[in-house]
Structure 1
Amino acid sequence: MKKLIALLLTGFLGTVATEAIAESDTRHPKKVNWPFAGPLGKFPIDALQRGFLVYKQVCAACHGLDHLRYGNLAGQGKDIETIRTTNLGLTMEEAKAIAAEYTVKDLDDEGQPADRKALPSDYFANPYPNEKASRAANNGAHPPDLSLVVKARPGGASYVYSLLTGYEEAPKDVTVGPGRYYNPYFPGGQLSMTAPLTTDGQVTYPDGTPATVDQMAKDVVTFLAWASDPHAEERKQTGVKVMFYLLIMTAVFYLAKRRIWKNVKH
Protein backbone atom coordinates (compact mmCIF):
# COMPACT_ATOMS: atom_id res chain seq x y z
CA MET A 1 0.00 0.00 0.00
CA LYS A 2 2.83 2.38 0.88
CA LYS A 3 4.54 1.62 -2.44
CA LEU A 4 1.29 2.31 -4.31
CA ILE A 5 0.86 5.67 -2.54
CA ALA A 6 4.48 6.51 -3.26
CA LEU A 7 4.02 5.72 -6.96
CA LEU A 8 0.86 7.81 -7.14
CA LEU A 9 2.53 10.75 -5.43
CA THR A 10 5.56 10.42 -7.67
CA GLY A 11 3.36 10.41 -10.76
CA PHE A 12 1.31 13.36 -9.52
CA LEU A 13 4.31 15.43 -8.53
CA GLY A 14 6.03 14.53 -11.79
CA THR A 15 3.01 15.77 -13.74
CA VAL A 16 2.89 18.99 -11.73
CA ALA A 17 6.62 19.49 -12.24
CA THR A 18 6.30 18.87 -15.99
CA GLU A 19 3.44 21.36 -16.25
CA ALA A 20 5.40 23.89 -14.20
CA ILE A 21 8.42 23.52 -16.46
CA ALA A 22 6.24 23.82 -19.56
CA GLU A 23 4.62 26.94 -18.12
CA SER A 24 7.95 28.48 -17.11
CA ASP A 25 9.36 27.85 -20.59
CA THR A 26 6.47 29.73 -22.20
CA ARG A 27 7.57 33.17 -23.37
CA HIS A 28 5.73 36.22 -22.18
CA PRO A 29 3.67 37.95 -24.90
CA LYS A 30 5.34 40.71 -26.88
CA LYS A 31 4.51 44.24 -25.80
CA VAL A 32 2.25 46.01 -28.27
CA ASN A 33 0.64 49.42 -27.85
CA TRP A 34 -2.89 48.67 -29.03
CA PRO A 35 -4.96 51.74 -30.00
CA PHE A 36 -8.10 50.15 -28.55
CA ALA A 37 -6.58 49.53 -25.11
CA GLY A 38 -7.48 51.61 -22.07
CA PRO A 39 -10.60 53.53 -21.08
CA LEU A 40 -10.25 55.96 -24.00
CA GLY A 41 -9.04 53.48 -26.60
CA LYS A 42 -10.76 53.20 -29.98
CA PHE A 43 -10.77 50.67 -32.80
CA PRO A 44 -9.34 52.15 -36.03
CA ILE A 45 -11.88 51.51 -38.80
CA ASP A 46 -9.19 50.87 -41.43
CA ALA A 47 -7.47 48.27 -39.22
CA LEU A 48 -10.82 46.57 -38.53
CA GLN A 49 -11.55 46.32 -42.26
CA ARG A 50 -8.12 44.90 -43.00
CA GLY A 51 -8.38 42.51 -40.05
CA PHE A 52 -11.75 41.23 -41.23
CA LEU A 53 -10.21 40.59 -44.66
CA VAL A 54 -7.39 38.57 -43.06
CA TYR A 55 -9.89 36.59 -40.99
CA LYS A 56 -12.07 35.96 -44.03
CA GLN A 57 -9.25 34.84 -46.33
CA VAL A 58 -6.94 33.09 -43.86
CA CYS A 59 -8.69 32.15 -40.61
CA ALA A 60 -12.30 31.45 -41.59
CA ALA A 61 -11.43 28.18 -43.30
CA CYS A 62 -10.89 26.60 -39.87
CA HIS A 63 -12.13 28.99 -37.18
CA GLY A 64 -15.65 30.24 -36.58
CA LEU A 65 -17.04 33.40 -34.97
CA ASP A 66 -20.06 31.85 -33.32
CA HIS A 67 -20.97 34.87 -31.18
CA LEU A 68 -20.84 37.53 -33.90
CA ARG A 69 -23.62 38.43 -36.32
CA TYR A 70 -23.08 39.60 -39.90
CA GLY A 71 -25.14 42.66 -39.04
CA ASN A 72 -22.54 43.67 -36.46
CA LEU A 73 -20.22 44.53 -39.36
CA ALA A 74 -22.52 47.46 -40.08
CA GLY A 75 -22.98 48.29 -36.42
CA GLN A 76 -26.35 46.62 -36.04
CA GLY A 77 -27.29 43.19 -34.82
CA LYS A 78 -30.49 41.23 -34.35
CA ASP A 79 -32.48 44.19 -33.03
CA ILE A 80 -31.66 46.81 -35.65
CA GLU A 81 -33.50 49.56 -33.77
CA THR A 82 -31.74 49.22 -30.41
CA ILE A 83 -28.38 47.46 -30.82
CA ARG A 84 -25.58 49.90 -31.53
CA THR A 85 -21.97 48.87 -31.94
CA THR A 86 -18.71 50.17 -33.22
CA ASN A 87 -18.66 48.88 -36.77
CA LEU A 88 -16.33 48.35 -39.68
CA GLY A 89 -17.58 51.39 -41.58
CA LEU A 90 -19.82 49.21 -43.76
CA THR A 91 -23.36 49.97 -44.82
CA MET A 92 -26.14 47.51 -44.07
CA GLU A 93 -26.29 46.67 -47.78
CA GLU A 94 -22.61 45.74 -47.73
CA ALA A 95 -23.19 43.61 -44.63
CA LYS A 96 -26.11 41.89 -46.41
CA ALA A 97 -23.87 41.17 -49.40
CA ILE A 98 -21.20 39.62 -47.15
CA ALA A 99 -23.82 37.53 -45.34
CA ALA A 100 -25.27 36.32 -48.66
CA GLU A 101 -21.92 34.68 -49.47
CA TYR A 102 -22.66 32.04 -46.81
CA THR A 103 -25.41 29.52 -46.15
CA VAL A 104 -26.98 28.68 -42.82
CA LYS A 105 -29.27 25.94 -41.57
CA ASP A 106 -32.95 26.83 -41.19
CA LEU A 107 -36.43 25.40 -41.58
CA ASP A 108 -38.57 25.75 -44.69
CA ASP A 109 -42.28 26.63 -44.71
CA GLU A 110 -43.12 23.01 -43.90
CA GLY A 111 -40.77 22.88 -40.92
CA GLN A 112 -38.18 20.75 -42.70
CA PRO A 113 -34.41 21.39 -42.45
CA ALA A 114 -33.19 23.54 -45.31
CA ASP A 115 -30.24 25.71 -46.29
CA ARG A 116 -30.63 29.40 -47.09
CA LYS A 117 -28.43 32.43 -47.63
CA ALA A 118 -27.37 34.10 -44.43
CA LEU A 119 -28.96 37.37 -43.33
CA PRO A 120 -27.48 40.23 -41.25
CA SER A 121 -29.36 38.84 -38.22
CA ASP A 122 -27.58 35.46 -38.52
CA TYR A 123 -24.47 34.49 -36.61
CA PHE A 124 -21.32 33.84 -38.65
CA ALA A 125 -21.48 30.45 -40.34
CA ASN A 126 -19.12 27.87 -38.82
CA PRO A 127 -16.73 26.17 -41.28
CA TYR A 128 -17.67 22.75 -39.83
CA PRO A 129 -21.09 21.28 -39.03
CA ASN A 130 -19.87 19.93 -35.67
CA GLU A 131 -16.78 19.27 -33.56
CA LYS A 132 -16.38 15.71 -34.82
CA ALA A 133 -16.18 16.96 -38.41
CA SER A 134 -13.64 19.62 -37.47
CA ARG A 135 -11.41 17.06 -35.74
CA ALA A 136 -11.65 14.71 -38.71
CA ALA A 137 -10.45 17.52 -40.99
CA ASN A 138 -7.60 18.61 -38.72
CA ASN A 139 -5.86 15.40 -37.65
CA GLY A 140 -7.83 15.17 -34.42
CA ALA A 141 -7.41 18.83 -33.40
CA HIS A 142 -10.45 21.04 -32.88
CA PRO A 143 -9.87 24.64 -34.08
CA PRO A 144 -11.29 26.90 -31.37
CA ASP A 145 -13.95 29.50 -32.00
CA LEU A 146 -12.38 32.96 -32.22
CA SER A 147 -15.31 35.05 -30.98
CA LEU A 148 -13.88 35.45 -27.48
CA VAL A 149 -10.30 34.27 -27.98
CA VAL A 150 -8.81 37.67 -27.11
CA LYS A 151 -10.74 37.81 -23.83
CA ALA A 152 -10.26 34.12 -23.03
CA ARG A 153 -6.47 33.97 -23.26
CA PRO A 154 -4.15 35.40 -20.58
CA GLY A 155 -2.32 38.28 -22.22
CA GLY A 156 -5.30 39.05 -24.46
CA ALA A 157 -4.52 40.72 -27.78
CA SER A 158 -0.75 40.67 -27.21
CA TYR A 159 -0.80 36.91 -26.62
CA VAL A 160 -2.76 36.20 -29.83
CA TYR A 161 -0.43 38.50 -31.78
CA SER A 162 2.64 36.83 -30.28
CA LEU A 163 1.28 33.40 -31.13
CA LEU A 164 0.62 34.38 -34.76
CA THR A 165 4.11 35.78 -35.22
CA GLY A 166 6.00 33.43 -32.88
CA TYR A 167 6.50 30.26 -34.92
CA GLU A 168 10.14 29.21 -35.16
CA GLU A 169 12.48 26.26 -35.40
CA ALA A 170 12.44 24.12 -32.28
CA PRO A 171 15.61 23.99 -30.13
CA LYS A 172 17.82 20.97 -30.68
CA ASP A 173 16.83 19.46 -27.33
CA VAL A 174 13.10 19.66 -28.15
CA THR A 175 11.39 16.91 -30.13
CA VAL A 176 8.33 18.15 -31.97
CA GLY A 177 5.62 15.52 -32.27
CA PRO A 178 4.05 14.50 -35.59
CA GLY A 179 1.53 17.03 -36.86
CA ARG A 180 2.73 19.57 -34.29
CA TYR A 181 4.52 22.91 -34.69
CA TYR A 182 6.85 24.72 -32.33
CA ASN A 183 5.79 28.06 -30.89
CA PRO A 184 7.37 29.24 -27.61
CA TYR A 185 4.40 31.50 -26.85
CA PHE A 186 2.03 28.54 -26.64
CA PRO A 187 1.90 26.69 -23.28
CA GLY A 188 3.99 23.57 -23.76
CA GLY A 189 5.60 24.99 -26.89
CA GLN A 190 3.80 22.77 -29.40
CA LEU A 191 0.44 23.12 -31.08
CA SER A 192 -1.44 21.52 -33.96
CA MET A 193 -2.04 24.73 -35.93
CA THR A 194 0.52 25.50 -38.60
CA ALA A 195 1.59 29.12 -38.97
CA PRO A 196 -1.39 30.83 -40.65
CA LEU A 197 0.55 33.93 -41.71
CA THR A 198 3.70 32.95 -43.53
CA THR A 199 4.56 35.43 -46.28
CA ASP A 200 4.20 39.14 -46.94
CA GLY A 201 1.41 39.89 -49.39
CA GLN A 202 -0.56 36.81 -48.39
CA VAL A 203 -3.61 39.09 -48.35
CA THR A 204 -4.04 42.07 -50.67
CA TYR A 205 -5.18 45.21 -48.89
CA PRO A 206 -7.46 47.44 -51.00
CA ASP A 207 -6.22 50.56 -49.18
CA GLY A 208 -2.63 49.93 -50.32
CA THR A 209 -1.24 49.19 -46.85
CA PRO A 210 1.79 46.84 -47.16
CA ALA A 211 0.52 43.43 -46.05
CA THR A 212 3.54 42.29 -44.08
CA VAL A 213 3.15 39.33 -41.74
CA ASP A 214 3.44 41.69 -38.79
CA GLN A 215 0.81 44.07 -40.18
CA MET A 216 -1.62 41.26 -41.00
CA ALA A 217 -1.19 39.83 -37.50
CA LYS A 218 -1.88 43.20 -35.85
CA ASP A 219 -4.90 43.83 -38.08
CA VAL A 220 -6.55 40.46 -37.52
CA VAL A 221 -5.94 40.71 -33.76
CA THR A 222 -7.57 44.16 -33.78
CA PHE A 223 -10.57 42.66 -35.57
CA LEU A 224 -10.77 39.73 -33.14
CA ALA A 225 -10.51 42.09 -30.16
CA TRP A 226 -13.44 44.05 -31.59
CA ALA A 227 -15.37 40.83 -32.36
CA SER A 228 -15.05 39.78 -28.71
CA ASP A 229 -16.80 42.99 -27.62
CA PRO A 230 -18.40 45.07 -30.41
CA HIS A 231 -20.01 47.33 -27.78
CA ALA A 232 -16.70 48.27 -26.13
CA GLU A 233 -16.40 51.81 -27.49
CA GLU A 234 -20.01 52.65 -26.73
CA ARG A 235 -19.54 51.42 -23.16
CA LYS A 236 -16.33 53.43 -22.75
CA GLN A 237 -18.02 56.57 -24.03
CA THR A 238 -20.90 56.03 -21.64
CA GLY A 239 -18.45 55.54 -18.78
CA VAL A 240 -16.66 58.82 -19.55
CA LYS A 241 -19.98 60.68 -19.65
CA VAL A 242 -21.04 59.14 -16.34
CA MET A 243 -17.74 60.07 -14.67
CA PHE A 244 -18.02 63.62 -16.00
CA TYR A 245 -21.59 63.85 -14.70
CA LEU A 246 -20.56 62.53 -11.28
CA LEU A 247 -17.73 65.07 -11.04
CA ILE A 248 -20.12 67.93 -11.81
CA MET A 249 -22.71 66.67 -9.33
CA THR A 250 -20.03 66.25 -6.66
CA ALA A 251 -19.07 69.90 -7.09
CA VAL A 252 -22.73 70.99 -7.02
CA PHE A 253 -23.49 69.04 -3.85
CA TYR A 254 -20.32 70.30 -2.19
CA LEU A 255 -21.25 73.92 -2.89
CA ALA A 256 -24.81 73.28 -1.73
CA LYS A 257 -23.52 71.77 1.50
CA ARG A 258 -21.25 74.78 2.10
CA ARG A 259 -24.16 77.17 1.51
CA ILE A 260 -26.60 75.29 3.75
CA TRP A 261 -24.18 74.87 6.66
CA LYS A 262 -22.25 78.12 6.48
CA ASN A 263 -24.39 79.88 9.15
CA VAL A 264 -24.70 76.88 11.45
CA LYS A 265 -22.75 77.34 14.67
CA HIS A 266 -20.83 74.35 15.90
Structure 2
Amino acid sequence: MLRKLSVIAAVAGLLTAVAGPALAQHGALPAKDVHWSFEGPLGKFDQAQLQRGYKVYREVCSACHSMNLVSFRNLGDKGGPFYDKKYPNSNDNPYVKAIAKDYEVADIDNETGDAIKRPATPADRFPAPFPNEAAARASNGGALPPDMSLLAKAREEGPAHIYSIITGYAAPPPGLKMDPTQHYNQYMTGDLSSYWSGPKEHVPPGGFIAMAPPIKANQVTFDDGTPATLDQEAKDVSAFLMWAAEPKLEERKQTGFAVLAYLVLFSILLYVSYRKVWKNESH
Protein backbone atom coordinates (compact mmCIF):
# COMPACT_ATOMS: atom_id res chain seq x y z
CA MET A 1 0.00 0.00 0.00
CA LEU A 2 2.81 2.40 0.92
CA ARG A 3 4.66 1.60 -2.28
CA LYS A 4 1.51 2.30 -4.29
CA LEU A 5 1.06 5.67 -2.58
CA SER A 6 4.72 6.50 -3.21
CA VAL A 7 4.33 5.75 -6.92
CA ILE A 8 1.18 7.90 -7.12
CA ALA A 9 2.92 10.78 -5.36
CA ALA A 10 5.92 10.52 -7.68
CA VAL A 11 3.71 10.55 -10.78
CA ALA A 12 1.75 13.53 -9.45
CA GLY A 13 4.97 15.39 -8.77
CA LEU A 14 6.23 14.64 -12.29
CA LEU A 15 2.99 15.85 -13.85
CA THR A 16 3.12 19.03 -11.78
CA ALA A 17 6.68 19.69 -12.86
CA VAL A 18 5.81 19.15 -16.52
CA ALA A 19 2.65 21.24 -16.36
CA GLY A 20 4.29 24.00 -14.30
CA PRO A 21 5.62 26.12 -17.19
CA ALA A 22 2.28 25.99 -19.01
CA LEU A 23 0.27 26.85 -15.89
CA ALA A 24 2.64 29.66 -15.04
CA GLN A 25 1.54 31.50 -18.18
CA HIS A 26 -2.00 31.83 -16.81
CA GLY A 27 -2.77 34.68 -14.44
CA ALA A 28 -0.95 37.90 -13.72
CA LEU A 29 2.77 38.50 -13.94
CA PRO A 30 4.52 38.96 -10.58
CA ALA A 31 4.64 42.59 -9.47
CA LYS A 32 7.65 44.58 -10.58
CA ASP A 33 10.57 44.83 -8.18
CA VAL A 34 10.51 48.37 -6.79
CA HIS A 35 12.73 49.87 -4.10
CA TRP A 36 10.77 51.81 -1.47
CA SER A 37 12.25 54.14 1.14
CA PHE A 38 9.97 52.61 3.79
CA GLU A 39 11.19 49.03 3.30
CA GLY A 40 12.97 47.16 6.07
CA PRO A 41 13.14 47.74 9.81
CA LEU A 42 14.84 51.15 9.41
CA GLY A 43 12.78 52.34 6.46
CA LYS A 44 10.89 55.63 6.56
CA PHE A 45 8.48 57.40 4.28
CA ASP A 46 10.01 60.00 1.98
CA GLN A 47 7.95 63.11 2.77
CA ALA A 48 8.67 64.72 -0.60
CA GLN A 49 7.49 61.56 -2.36
CA LEU A 50 4.32 61.48 -0.25
CA GLN A 51 3.58 65.08 -1.22
CA ARG A 52 4.02 64.26 -4.88
CA GLY A 53 1.89 61.14 -4.47
CA TYR A 54 -0.86 63.14 -2.81
CA LYS A 55 -0.88 65.51 -5.77
CA VAL A 56 -1.29 62.60 -8.20
CA TYR A 57 -4.16 61.23 -6.09
CA ARG A 58 -5.78 64.65 -5.78
CA GLU A 59 -5.57 65.59 -9.45
CA VAL A 60 -6.10 62.17 -11.03
CA CYS A 61 -7.26 59.30 -8.82
CA SER A 62 -9.77 61.17 -6.65
CA ALA A 63 -12.04 61.69 -9.65
CA CYS A 64 -13.12 58.04 -9.31
CA HIS A 65 -11.57 56.58 -6.14
CA SER A 66 -12.54 57.47 -2.59
CA MET A 67 -10.43 57.36 0.59
CA ASN A 68 -13.24 57.06 3.10
CA LEU A 69 -11.03 56.09 6.04
CA VAL A 70 -8.54 58.96 5.79
CA SER A 71 -9.12 62.35 7.44
CA PHE A 72 -7.51 65.56 6.23
CA ARG A 73 -5.76 65.96 9.58
CA ASN A 74 -3.92 62.68 8.94
CA LEU A 75 -1.95 64.48 6.24
CA GLY A 76 -0.31 66.54 8.99
CA ASP A 77 0.34 63.68 11.41
CA LYS A 78 3.90 62.62 12.19
CA GLY A 79 5.26 60.73 9.21
CA GLY A 80 2.57 62.18 6.93
CA PRO A 81 2.99 64.19 3.72
CA PHE A 82 2.61 67.60 5.35
CA TYR A 83 3.84 66.98 8.88
CA ASP A 84 5.44 70.03 10.48
CA LYS A 85 6.93 69.71 13.96
CA LYS A 86 5.79 73.28 14.69
CA TYR A 87 2.22 71.94 14.69
CA PRO A 88 2.10 68.81 16.88
CA ASN A 89 -1.69 69.03 16.62
CA SER A 90 -2.30 68.43 12.93
CA ASN A 91 -5.65 70.24 13.13
CA ASP A 92 -3.65 73.46 13.51
CA ASN A 93 -1.42 72.79 10.50
CA PRO A 94 -2.11 75.67 8.04
CA TYR A 95 -1.27 73.56 5.01
CA VAL A 96 -3.75 70.89 6.10
CA LYS A 97 -6.39 73.57 6.63
CA ALA A 98 -5.78 74.94 3.14
CA ILE A 99 -6.09 71.48 1.59
CA ALA A 100 -9.33 70.79 3.45
CA LYS A 101 -10.90 74.04 2.27
CA ASP A 102 -10.47 72.94 -1.35
CA TYR A 103 -13.06 70.22 -0.71
CA GLU A 104 -16.75 70.40 0.05
CA VAL A 105 -18.48 67.90 2.31
CA ALA A 106 -22.14 67.11 2.89
CA ASP A 107 -23.68 68.47 6.07
CA ILE A 108 -26.99 69.49 7.62
CA ASP A 109 -28.02 73.09 8.29
CA ASN A 110 -28.59 73.32 12.05
CA GLU A 111 -31.37 75.88 11.66
CA THR A 112 -33.36 74.57 8.70
CA GLY A 113 -32.36 70.90 8.67
CA ASP A 114 -31.65 71.14 4.95
CA ALA A 115 -28.84 69.20 3.31
CA ILE A 116 -25.99 71.56 2.47
CA LYS A 117 -22.41 71.56 1.27
CA ARG A 118 -19.73 73.29 3.32
CA PRO A 119 -15.95 73.66 3.10
CA ALA A 120 -14.21 70.74 4.76
CA THR A 121 -12.19 71.07 7.96
CA PRO A 122 -9.14 69.02 9.04
CA ALA A 123 -11.46 66.80 11.10
CA ASP A 124 -13.44 65.70 8.02
CA ARG A 125 -12.64 62.64 5.95
CA PHE A 126 -11.93 62.75 2.24
CA PRO A 127 -15.32 62.95 0.50
CA ALA A 128 -16.29 60.26 -1.99
CA PRO A 129 -16.47 61.35 -5.64
CA PHE A 130 -19.90 59.72 -6.07
CA PRO A 131 -22.98 59.89 -3.82
CA ASN A 132 -23.53 56.11 -3.87
CA GLU A 133 -22.42 52.84 -5.46
CA ALA A 134 -25.00 53.00 -8.24
CA ALA A 135 -23.74 56.41 -9.34
CA ALA A 136 -20.13 55.17 -9.22
CA ARG A 137 -20.94 52.18 -11.43
CA ALA A 138 -22.98 54.28 -13.85
CA SER A 139 -20.02 56.60 -14.37
CA ASN A 140 -17.53 53.77 -14.88
CA GLY A 141 -19.25 51.43 -17.31
CA GLY A 142 -20.67 49.21 -14.57
CA ALA A 143 -17.38 48.75 -12.72
CA LEU A 144 -17.02 49.92 -9.11
CA PRO A 145 -13.78 51.84 -8.42
CA PRO A 146 -12.35 50.48 -5.15
CA ASP A 147 -11.82 52.69 -2.14
CA MET A 148 -8.11 53.47 -1.84
CA SER A 149 -7.85 53.84 1.94
CA LEU A 150 -6.44 50.34 2.48
CA LEU A 151 -5.72 49.33 -1.10
CA ALA A 152 -1.96 48.99 -0.65
CA LYS A 153 -2.46 46.60 2.28
CA ALA A 154 -5.33 44.71 0.67
CA ARG A 155 -3.10 43.51 -2.16
CA GLU A 156 -0.63 40.72 -1.43
CA GLU A 157 2.19 42.49 -3.25
CA GLY A 158 1.41 45.82 -1.62
CA PRO A 159 2.31 49.10 -3.31
CA ALA A 160 4.34 47.23 -5.93
CA HIS A 161 1.03 45.78 -7.18
CA ILE A 162 -0.46 49.26 -7.61
CA TYR A 163 2.68 50.49 -9.36
CA SER A 164 2.68 47.46 -11.67
CA ILE A 165 -1.00 47.89 -12.60
CA ILE A 166 -0.51 51.57 -13.43
CA THR A 167 2.53 50.85 -15.62
CA GLY A 168 1.37 47.43 -16.88
CA TYR A 169 -1.05 48.39 -19.64
CA ALA A 170 -0.11 46.96 -23.02
CA ALA A 171 -1.58 46.44 -26.46
CA PRO A 172 -3.55 43.15 -26.49
CA PRO A 173 -1.71 40.42 -28.39
CA PRO A 174 -3.29 39.23 -31.66
CA GLY A 175 -5.78 36.48 -30.94
CA LEU A 176 -7.09 37.95 -27.68
CA LYS A 177 -10.79 38.79 -27.85
CA MET A 178 -11.94 41.64 -25.64
CA ASP A 179 -14.80 44.12 -25.35
CA PRO A 180 -14.27 47.79 -26.22
CA THR A 181 -14.75 48.68 -22.54
CA GLN A 182 -11.97 46.33 -21.43
CA HIS A 183 -8.24 47.03 -21.23
CA TYR A 184 -5.44 44.50 -21.26
CA ASN A 185 -3.02 44.61 -18.33
CA GLN A 186 -0.26 42.07 -17.80
CA TYR A 187 -0.35 42.48 -14.01
CA MET A 188 -4.11 42.19 -13.56
CA THR A 189 -5.34 38.96 -12.03
CA GLY A 190 -7.31 36.85 -14.48
CA ASP A 191 -7.39 33.82 -16.75
CA LEU A 192 -7.55 34.73 -20.43
CA SER A 193 -7.71 31.17 -21.75
CA SER A 194 -11.40 31.44 -22.69
CA TYR A 195 -10.73 34.67 -24.64
CA TRP A 196 -7.62 33.36 -26.41
CA SER A 197 -7.85 31.95 -29.93
CA GLY A 198 -4.18 31.07 -30.23
CA PRO A 199 -2.33 27.97 -29.01
CA LYS A 200 -3.44 26.99 -25.52
CA GLU A 201 0.16 26.70 -24.33
CA HIS A 202 0.72 30.37 -25.21
CA VAL A 203 -2.10 32.04 -23.30
CA PRO A 204 -0.90 35.59 -22.55
CA PRO A 205 -0.38 36.58 -18.91
CA GLY A 206 -2.55 39.12 -17.14
CA GLY A 207 -6.21 39.94 -17.36
CA PHE A 208 -8.79 42.58 -18.23
CA ILE A 209 -9.41 45.76 -16.27
CA ALA A 210 -12.28 48.19 -16.74
CA MET A 211 -10.15 51.23 -15.85
CA ALA A 212 -8.40 52.88 -18.77
CA PRO A 213 -4.74 53.82 -18.22
CA PRO A 214 -5.23 56.38 -15.43
CA ILE A 215 -1.92 58.23 -15.62
CA LYS A 216 0.27 59.50 -18.40
CA ALA A 217 3.56 61.37 -18.39
CA ASN A 218 3.35 65.05 -17.40
CA GLN A 219 -0.24 64.68 -16.23
CA VAL A 220 0.67 66.61 -13.08
CA THR A 221 3.31 69.22 -12.31
CA PHE A 222 5.32 68.48 -9.20
CA ASP A 223 6.03 71.49 -6.98
CA ASP A 224 9.59 70.36 -6.24
CA GLY A 225 10.52 70.23 -9.92
CA THR A 226 10.75 66.44 -10.14
CA PRO A 227 10.14 65.31 -13.77
CA ALA A 228 6.62 63.91 -13.97
CA THR A 229 7.34 60.75 -15.93
CA LEU A 230 4.81 57.92 -15.88
CA ASP A 231 7.21 55.84 -13.80
CA GLN A 232 7.70 58.64 -11.26
CA GLU A 233 4.00 59.41 -10.94
CA ALA A 234 3.18 55.73 -10.50
CA LYS A 235 5.84 55.26 -7.79
CA ASP A 236 4.81 58.38 -5.91
CA VAL A 237 1.09 57.65 -5.81
CA SER A 238 1.79 54.03 -4.82
CA ALA A 239 3.96 55.23 -1.92
CA PHE A 240 1.23 57.69 -0.90
CA LEU A 241 -1.37 54.93 -0.89
CA MET A 242 0.94 52.78 1.25
CA TRP A 243 1.12 55.64 3.75
CA ALA A 244 -2.69 56.01 3.64
CA ALA A 245 -3.07 52.31 4.41
CA GLU A 246 -0.50 52.33 7.24
CA PRO A 247 0.10 55.91 8.45
CA LYS A 248 1.64 54.70 11.74
CA LEU A 249 4.25 52.52 10.05
CA GLU A 250 7.22 54.52 11.36
CA GLU A 251 5.84 54.60 14.92
CA ARG A 252 5.22 50.85 14.77
CA LYS A 253 8.84 50.24 13.78
CA GLN A 254 10.11 52.50 16.56
CA THR A 255 7.92 50.67 19.07
CA GLY A 256 9.30 47.36 17.82
CA PHE A 257 12.88 48.51 18.43
CA ALA A 258 11.97 49.68 21.94
CA VAL A 259 10.41 46.31 22.72
CA LEU A 260 13.45 44.45 21.39
CA ALA A 261 15.78 46.64 23.46
CA TYR A 262 13.68 45.93 26.56
CA LEU A 263 13.76 42.18 25.92
CA VAL A 264 17.55 42.19 25.45
CA LEU A 265 18.04 44.16 28.67
CA PHE A 266 15.61 41.91 30.52
CA SER A 267 17.44 38.81 29.26
CA ILE A 268 20.79 40.18 30.48
CA LEU A 269 19.37 40.99 33.92
CA LEU A 270 17.77 37.56 34.11
CA TYR A 271 21.05 35.85 33.25
CA VAL A 272 23.02 37.92 35.78
CA SER A 273 20.42 37.13 38.47
CA TYR A 274 20.56 33.44 37.62
CA ARG A 275 24.35 33.37 37.95
CA LYS A 276 24.23 35.18 41.29
CA VAL A 277 21.47 33.06 42.84
CA TRP A 278 22.96 29.73 41.78
CA LYS A 279 26.67 30.55 41.96
CA ASN A 280 27.31 28.23 44.94
CA GLU A 281 25.31 25.34 43.54
CA SER A 282 26.63 22.54 41.39
CA HIS A 283 25.07 22.10 37.97
Q: TM-score range by the shorter chain?
A: 0.7 to 0.9
Kindly, what percent of the aligned residue pairs are identical?
Answer: 46
Quick one: structure 1 residues 258 and 22, their matched pair in 2 at CA, closer, same or farther if it must change by over 3 Å? closer
Segments of structure 2 that go 5 or more residues without pairing to the other structure are 1-21, 85-92, 191-206
**CA displacement at 1:253 relative to structure 2:** 1.3
Confirm or deny that 1:87 pairs with 2:80.
Answer: yes
> Structure 1 residues 23 and 74 mapped into 2: Cα distance closer, same or farther (>3 Å)?
farther
CA RMSD of aligned residues (A): 1.7
1:71 corresponds, among 66, 73, 80, to 73
> What is the correspondence of 1:100-139 to structure 2 with a 5 Å cutoff?
100-110=101-111, 111-139=113-141
Measured in 2, the distance between the counterparts of 1:166 and 1:154 equals 17
Q: Deviations over 1:90-117 (max 9, x none)?
A: 4511101111111111222134432211
Tell me what 1:227 maps to: 244
The CA distance in 2 between the partners of 1:211 and 1:64, in whole Å, is 23
Structure 1 residue identity aligned to 2:100: A
Distance 2:128 2:24 in 1: 32
Which whole-Å CA distance do the structure 2 matches of 1:210 and 1:229 have between them? 27
Kindly report which structure 2 residues correspond to 1:202-221, keeping only aligned pairs within 5 A, or say none: 202-221=219-238
| Contact 1:22-1:187 within 8 A present in 2 as well | no
- Pick the aligned partner of 1:192 from 210, 232, 247: 210
Give the AA of the match of 1:218.
K
What amino acid is the match of 2:26? S
Q: 1:181 to 1:21 in 2, by over 3 A?
A: farther
Q: CA deviation at 1:122?
A: 0.8
The one-letter amino acid paired with 1:207 is: D
* Matched residue, 1:43: 45
1:101 maps to a residue whose letter is: D
Q: Which runs of 4+ in 1 moved over 4 A?
A: 20-23
Equivalent in the alignment of 1:10: none
Report what 1:12 is aligned to.
none
Matches within 5 A, 1:134-145: 134-145=136-147
| Matched residue type, 1:42 | K
- Indicate whether 1:245 and 2:262 are aligned: yes
Q: CA deviation at 1:157?
A: 1.0
Write the letter of the residue equivalent to 2:254.
Q
Query: What is the SS of the residue equivalent to 2:106?
Result: strand
- What whole-Å deviation, never above 9, does each CA across 1:10-55 have from its counterpart, x for those lacking one? xxxxxxxxxx979823111111121212222211001000000111
Identify which of 127, 132, 148 aligns with 1:146.
148
Deviation at 1:136, TM superposition (A): 1.1
- Specify whether residues 255 and 72 from structure 1 end up closer, same or farther in structure 2 by C-alpha distance, changes over 3 A only: same
Q: Residue in 1 aligned with 2:4?
A: none
Question: Aligned residue for 1:57?
Answer: 59
Residue correspondence of structure 1 range 150-189 to structure 2 within 5 A: 150-188=152-190, 189=207
Structure 2 residue matching 1:95: 3-state secondary structure:
helix
User: What is the TM-score of this pair, normalised by structure 2?
Assistant: 0.80
For 1:15-30, list aligned pairs within 5 A.
24-30=26-32
Partner SS state of residue 26, structure 2: helix
Q: How has the CA–CA distance of structure 1 residues 148 and 218 changed in structure 2, closer, same or farther, with 3 Å as cutoff?
A: same
Please list every run of 5 or more consecutive structure 1 residues that lacks an aligned counterpart in the other structure.
1-19, 76-84
Q: Is the 8 A contact 2:53 2:233 kept in 1?
A: yes
**Residues matched between the structures, number:** 237
Q: Which amino acid aligns with 1:191?
A: I
Q: Check conservation: 2:82, 2:95, Cα contact below 8 A.
A: no
